[in-house]
Amino acid sequence: MIRRFSLLLTTVAVVLVLLASNSSAAEKLKLLIVDGQNNHNWKSTTPVLKAFLEKSGRFTVTVATSPARTAKRPTGPSSAGLCSQ
């Protein structure tokens, strides 16, 4: 719980610093949000964060979603040449 709060607080702080800076860059900054993992509700928070950042007019946001976990891969000496798809 504390780790998630720290990550959220750090993210908000970085965004606020970037928004408050007086940089007059002509082109937008490229930003990548990687979601799809962990135990937070990323399906609902990612679109909100993306919209917030794009609304500022300073960012071009790309979202990369990690693939879902599949069944466990076989392990052990007999499965050395096997690949699961």
Per-residue pLDDT of the chain (85 residues; tens, 9 = 90+): 778 877 887 888 888 777 776 555 568 899 999 988 877 888 889 999 999 999 999 999 999 998 877 766 666 666 555 555 5
- Distance, in Å, from the CA atom of 26 to the CA atom of 48, rounded to the nearest integer, reads 25
The pLDDT score that the predictor gives to residue 12 is 81
The pLDDT score that the predictor gives to residue 52 is 92
Record the tokens describing residue 49, joined without a space: 């964060």
pTM as predicted: 0.52
- Distance, in Å, from the CA atom of 47 to the CA atom of 41, rounded to the nearest integer, reads 11
The type of residue at 42 is: W
Give how far the C-alpha of residue 40 lies from the chain's centroid of Cα atoms, to the nearest Å: 12
